[in-house]
Structure 1
Amino acid sequence: MDEAAIVLLQAVVAGIVATALLDLWTAALRRLASVPSLDWALAGRWIGHMRHGRFAHDAIARATPVRGERMLGWGLHYATGIAFAGVLLAVMGPAWRQAPTLLPCVAMGLATVVVPFVLMQPALGLGIAASRTPSPGRARMRSLSTHGVFGLGLYAGAWTASALAGGS
């Protein structure tokens, strides 16, 4: 198997593991502490409206629902996790992919918070870095902690991918 195929396969594994850990974290927060999380159907609605040239909304919850929005949203969520894992794996190189270390994973996880802060939240009508939410500071801290957990998941996923690829 060539290098690009290996990186792609490892990105799929690492991205799925990392995103699943993030989902377990948000489910635990929702169940144990009543902390709300993004309804992925709304992200799917956002994606669904793009085909009609609508990329930003005043309030995505008030936008017209689109067929299959929940599946679109979950697909976007996992595809994004896989893409972030792919960037990390490609940048870090083959030696690192055989023996991943924690710091680059956590750094990447935390860096990914830029995407919701400057792209997704404004497009959904929540403002830059959740500035239009009732508690922007709380929302930002929740995003940072969630993306930190995603970073820990990248570490677990990178090790899983390494093991499956025959690394250390």
Structure 2
Amino acid sequence: MFIVFKTVIVGIGATLVMDVWSWCQKRLLKVPPLNYALVGRWILSLPGGRFYHHTIISTPRMPGELFTGWVFHYLTGIVFALIPLLLNGTVWLSEPTLAAGLLTGLITLLAPFMILQPALGFGIAASRTPRPWLARLLSLLTHMAYGFGLYVAALAMAVWE
């Protein structure tokens, strides 16, 4: 049970690091991060049987989409925090490595590239966006920030223990 608690905390911590990176990206690079209202709109469309959108931007707004998007974002961060445990076992929580964190960041890129971006109408690996390589690079950097956050959060948990 304590492993579940630690994993939840590590997932939240890593997602916070990812969000700090996104904030810096917006302020320093003048590139807006993902709008989680669009993710929420997608999630809220799923019960109606709509998995793919021509573009999510053309789908009408839905009540609660921003809140839903942010909750989904953090739940995803918590679930993805299980990946280092699958790679390294429970030793990850007591002896985290930067390599496992960054590898997890790379692995988690599959979710936006192969699921979220196509479902939102942006194509596989953002191929239908105006600047696909920029979108891909920003996704990579964001997921590397998440992976780094996993390492930092797991290290903090190990030191705290």
Smaller-chain TM-score bracket: over 0.9
Is 2:36 aligned against 1:43? no
Alpha-carbon spacing, 1:9–1:163, altered in 2? closer, same or farther (3 Å): farther
Partner of 2:75: 79
Task: State the Cα distance separating 1:90 from its structure 2 match.
Answer: 4.3
Distance in 1 separating the partners of 2:145 and 2:154: 14
1:15-47 CA distances to partner (integer Å, 9 max, x unpaired)? 111111110111111011211211000000000
Picking from 125, 129, 134, the partner of 1:133 is: 129
State the TM-score, normalized to the length of structure 2: 0.95
The alignment partner of 1:66 has SS state of coil
| Percent of aligned positions that are identical | 43
State the TM-score, normalized to the length of structure 1: 0.91
Picking from 103, 111, 116, the partner of 1:120 is: 116
1:99-119 CA distances to partner (integer Å, 9 max, x unpaired)? 111101100011101100000
Aligned 8 A contact 2:41 2:62 in 1: yes
Runs of 4+ in structure 1 over 4 Å off? none
Distance in 2 separating the partners of 1:131 and 1:90: 31
Picking from 3, 7, 10, the partner of 2:6 is: 10
Alignment gaps of 5+ in structure 2: none
Distance in 2 separating the partners of 1:80 and 1:22: 12
Aligned 8 A contact 2:14 2:77 in 1: yes
Q: How many residues align?
A: 161
